[in-house]
Amino acid sequence: MMTENNKPILEVKGLKTHFFTKRGVSKAVDGIDFNLHKGETLGIVGESGCGKSITSLSILRLIPSPPGKIAGGQVLFKGKDLVTMSEDEMRKVRGNEISMIFQEPMTSLNPVLPVGEQIAEALRMHQKMGRKAAWEKAVEMLKLVGIPSPEKRAKQEPFQLSGGMRQRVMIAMALACTPEVLIADEPTTALDVTIQAQILELIKDLQNKLGMGVIMITHDLGVVAETCDTVAVMYAGNIIEHAPTEKIFANPRHPYTQGLLDSLPKIHEDQEELQTIEGSVPSPYNMPAGCRFATRCPHQQPICHEQQPELIEQNDGVKVRCWMYTDHWTAKSVKEEAVK
Amino acid sequence: MQAALDKKVLLEVEHLKQYFPVKTDSLFKPKAYVQAVDDISFKLYEGETLSIVGESGCGKSTTGRAILRLDEPTAGKVYYSGTDILGLNKKEMRKLRGDLQVIFQDPFASLNPRQTVKQILNEPMAIQDVVEKSKRMDRMLELLGYVGLPPEALDRYPHEFSGGQRQRIGIARALAVNPKLIICDEAVSALDVSVQAQVLNLLKKLQKQFGLTFLFISHDLSVVRHISDRVMVMYLGKVVEIADKKDLFDTPLHPYTRALLSSIPVPNPELKRERIILKGDVPSPINPPKGCRFHTRCPFATEKCKLEEPDLRELDTNHMVSCHYAEKFM
């Protein structure tokens, strides 16, 4: 749960990640702010191309450069700015204090090295453990993530394991050095639902034991509802709404969040037709001057096309980037909305 | 759905088996087979949407491909309007393909990148010869209208479209030859939710408009709930349960279906449910467990389940389930 009084462990301030390509500058992440506290699970959701994965890669400075570049902002981890840190120092943070689980375990594990060896490597590097101690700890980690006969499995190579087990190995590796922040980028997207349930349960369980902050990046709103304390919704490189999970699902403020939730087929009720969001996402090479959702928004007013709204905190702690919730919105149309 | 009783059967699958040989280490070892689909039977009624759900490797896509003879099935019969399509020769089969169309998961891989939309839509019409040459242009524009694409799309290439638009092109291509049955193999799985909603609405609209029958293959149970009339659940090459949508979601009778339904994350944090978390992974289809194939992960498994394979029994009207102990969930 969120601890309000503590200082956040990770503060992202005005982070901008741009890609400089032949076609122009792609503003994949364009000024985002959020905080993560110890023990908190923050969900970052959004559709393909909204910048959620680029955000996570930027935090760990894993953006391929060129063409990518962190063009502005700060990422403060325990007060130190990761953006300006030297590569040597960064390496000590990565996989040690902040670690990451990727979507596809097959491409993020070394295919020709026994999995136990891959976990032990991180321990030897970061914790300066001896060969034997590191191996033993690796086996212990595999046991912790629920892999049966861990001594035997540790000696096997990734192709000998099933998809669910590989993802468990990734988690074991990410948690081996007891990180303070875990970034999980679509950790269960490649898995079947029954395995997904096991993995989500496991992450939650380990978080309770180790007290780390978790950033859960996903496009699956179901996963968010079941695992996260707060949710940041991203659209076209911006956070457009950031609120406690119950509030986002009970009372979404931003028209995009509303549209997103309405377009989900519901498992517990029958609907004749699904709601859709008209239009498509603006190109990251050519972002509109005003609100990035304006052209698709059912409530749009002239101001939406002129100037981009700020992410503003409401009375109840919900942050939303929309003119509808500011004084600039003409009162008449708010009433109209209410009637609707 | 009582209506199912007097509905016409469009497609009937009987004892379909699809085995794929796998490489063995030695020449002298017996040949091993992946039993991707192992003796399944079901009926598809005209105008309905039957969904096949299950996890990776359960044989749902293989079933779709076997019906279309994209892979030649190992054994079994597939009757389409009374004729056994597995007995047809190449020429007869080609003729029938006009009735049976398919939409694939990956709109990036299932459209030829070097053909314009015009060529993509023209090809099936030319092969099946359903529309006179002079009228094909009008037909293509009509098709684009059905799927909500502008006429300018005709001269463009697949890479110029977004994922959702490409899936619309795939749908237009399937419609081009006036099919009766469309097999949708994970047709919306690669799409973002807002786009997915558009494509699902489109499929429903077209089904009404043209009286289409859908065999909808998907792993996403929320989507299945939305689109289907009936649902069939598969596990390791076997059918474990078939029922009308409402019965399946309200009173699932197979322990696997129950676990599957309870594992779906629901976008509603208020809703607290009892979750059945299955232990372990799906066993290998090369050497599936004896008896009930689910017994290795089933929380209720007994000695009987390890030895005896359960039959698919009709426990309630149109509700078939293959479990020795399904009665206790009724």
Asked if the ipTM is above 0.90, the reply is no
- Cβ neighbours of residue B269 closer than 8 Å, sequence gap 6 or more: A225, A226, A245, A246, A249
**pLDDT score for A165:** 84
What does pTM read for this prediction?
0.83
Taking residues A103-121, what's their average pLDDT?
88
Which residues from chain B sit within 8 angstroms of residue A164, using beta carbons? 281
Element (H, E) at A244: strand A238-244
Rounded average pLDDT over A2-25: 83
The band of B165, judged by pLDDT with boundaries at 50, 70 and 90, is confident
Q: Is the pLDDT of residue A333 over 80?
A: no
d(CA A324, CA A321): 9
Contact B266 A226 (CB under 8 A): yes
Residues A214-231: pLDDT tens digits? 999 998 888 999 899 999
Question: What is the spatial distance between Cα A338 and Cα A54, in angstroms, rounded to a whole number?
Answer: 37
Tell me which chain A residues have a C-beta less than 8 angstroms from the C-beta of B263: 193-194, 196-197
- Which position has the higher pLDDT, A30 or B108? A30
- State residue B33 phi and psi, 5-degree precision: -130, 140
In this structure, is the dihedral angle defined by the CA atoms of residues B26, B30, B31 and B34, taken in order, positive or negative?
A: negative
Residues of A with CB below 8 A from B168's CB? none
DSSP bridge pairs for A21: A24
Give the pLDDT band of residue B294 (cuts 50, 70, 90): very high
- Quote the pLDDT of residue B236: 92
DSSP state, residue A280 = -
pLDDT of residue A103: 80
Q: Which of A249, A263, A271 sits opposite B268 (nearest CB)?
A: A249
When pLDDT is averaged across residues A9-37 and rounded to a whole number, the result is: 91
pLDDT tens sequence across A235-259: 999 999 999 999 999 999 999 999 9
Flag whether pLDDT at B107 surpasses 90. Answer: no
Nearest CB to B197 within list A48, A192, A274: A274
Q: Phi and psi (nearest 5°) for B218?
A: -155, 155
Q: How far is A92 from chain B (nearest CA, A)?
A: 35
pLDDT of A5 above 80 = no
CB contact under 8 A, A47 and B192: yes
In this predicted structure, the answer to whether residue B220 has a pLDDT above a threshold of 70 is yes
- Residues A236-274, buried b or exposed e (16+ Cβ, 10 A)? bbbbbbbbbbebbbeebbbbbbbbbbbbbbbbeeeeeeb
Query: Is the confidence at residue A2, as pLDDT, over 50?
Result: no
Q: What is the pLDDT of residue B298?
A: 92
